Amino acid sequence: MDWQGQKHSEFLMQILLVVFAVVAFAVGYAIESFQMMMLIYASGVFLTALITVPNWPFFNRHPLKWLDPSEADRHPKPQATAAASKKKASKQK
C-alpha cells in the first residue's frame, strides 16, 4: 500500500465506523434493543476491517519509484563536512 493509499484507507475507515455507529444507534434506539445495536456495530467493524485492512489494488494507484541499485552505486552518499562535525563537537561539550 502506498502513502496515498494509506491516507485513503484511514479516511475510509473513519467514515465507515462513524456511519455504522450512527446506523447501529438509530436502529437500536428505534427497536429498543441494545443487543441488536451491538450486532450491527460489530458487523460494521468487521466489514470496515475487510475493506480497509487488505492491500487492495485501488490503494496502490501511486506507487513509489525506488532508485535502481546500480544507479545508487554510481552516486555515493554525501559525506559529513568538517564544519558539521565541529558543530556536533561543540554541542556535546
Check: CB of residue 40 under 8 Å from CB of residue 20: yes
Q: Which amino acid is located at 25 in the chain? A: F
For the beta carbon of residue 20, count every other beta carbon within 10 angstroms.
19
Taking residues 63-83, report their average pLDDT.
73
Q: Which amino acid is located at 74 in the chain? A: R
Calpha distance 12→75 (Å, rounded): 40
Whole-number pLDDT of residue 40? 96
Q: Is the pLDDT of residue 29 over 80?
A: yes
Taking residues 42-69, report their average pLDDT.
86
Whole-number pLDDT of residue 86? 59
For the beta carbon of residue 28, count every other beta carbon within 10 angstroms.
18
